[in-house]
A and B are shown apart, each in its own frame.
Chain A
Amino acid sequence: MTEVDGFVAWVRAFAASIESHQGELTDLDSAIGDADHGANMARGMAAVVAALDAAEFETVGALFKKVGMTLVSTVGGASGPLYGTLFLRIGTAAGEATSLDPDSVAKALRAGLEGVVARGRPEAGDKTMFDALSPALDALDQALTDGSPLSEALRAASQAADEGRDATTPMLARKGRASYLGERSVGHQDPGATSAALLIATAAETLP
């Protein structure tokens, strides 16, 4: 079972990872977007950390709803509504629980991804965060079905997310600002898929 504290550790680790990869995210976004993904995510996750410092959370749902609302209110761009909706839906799925078993973790993450799909309407191969998250959650479900413990299943998910992120490089962008470039978006790794892979990687590092 993963307690609220475990999820707090994940969110903090994600914030630290975004901070240390801020320059890389901005460089990737300079190539095919508008050079703000690193700064926006760093600003949003810093606000999330401040919110975590200021409050105690009794339930997993309350924690993730706070994370989601904070991102919606501070990030802007497309990342704010997308990451915000992701965490809000994770929070809604977790509800009043004070801890989650591995299957409930997977279900909550799946609900988060469905929120991203509802907000941004991405499809596989559009060169977006979906291309990292979707294979990651498929791998997570598969590993749990095969009887792996959560930590091992999340490592499989993280590997799938990294592969999904790498696979965005040859893709032609069909969503977001990169889509304006047409063929010129080919050959660049997607910034959103990159930050999404960090989200899964930090989950694998922190969630027991």
Chain B
Amino acid sequence: MGSEFVTLSLTPLLIGIFAAVACALPGNFLLLRKQALIGDAISHVALPGIVVAFLLTGAISTWPMMLGAAGAAVVAVVMIEAIRRLGRIEPGAAMGVVFTTLFAAGVLLLEQSDTSSVHLDVEHALYGNLESLIWLDGTGWGSLLDPQALAYLPVELPRMAATLVVVAGFIALFWRPLKIATFDESFARTIGMRTDLLGLALVITAAIAAVAAFDAVGSIIVIAMFICPPAAARMMTNRLELQIAWSVAFATLSAIIGYVLAGYGPLWIGMGDAVSAAGMIATISGVILAIAAMFGPCRGRAGAPSGV
């Protein structure tokens, strides 16, 4: 746990935690609003957005790709809404039509264009590359105070931290309206709230979190963190404040345990190489959800703590 930890594990671990928490926060509201699969849809459609941005700019650079992914997310939301209204189709099916089509278009574009020279492929988009976000200049704990070394932190770290601040800020700022609109949308409308705009803002915030996390850690973590920590937290409490606290704790825990198990677990059981950290973090979040679903005090449909 010395200098090697700082170089190899500190930044990916922090990035993983930030990404997990940034996704889990809006996930709480999406879960309660029965829009949990929005995260799934967004992370699928980010692929064509990123590919188009790459084809337009011809380079792997961050901002165009983030914009492309965000643009694709907006296009997807508009398409889902249009198909739902024009065709009078239930939202789940409309979502299924849109995200599979856009994902297929993304894969096709990727195959058609010559991206073999750069690191852009479907597997990367799915699994991310958390392990490779190492901090070469971080030679020890002392480097945290060394401005020169700090300048070479992987850009994903400050970006993910900023995303987390934005997401947390949105939720803190709109706490009361979000809470009211989530639990009683018609009441929120009667007191003059623009619930439609609020819902859209929530989806956009989720998209920002998803796209930023997608870039750093891949889509699996995004989908898992949108759903598993909030769902596990839902089993623990009936109060929204506590639910959010639990979900943050669960997200952090999944990120830490998942990362450590992926990096060191195989070594413990005598295998040579590490396994996918993204996949392991998602798996751990599932284990946490399973435990919460079996033993959580508020797991039942009625919601009251069992035995009370």
A and B physically associate: no
Name B residues whose Cβ lies closer than 8 Å to a Cβ of A. none
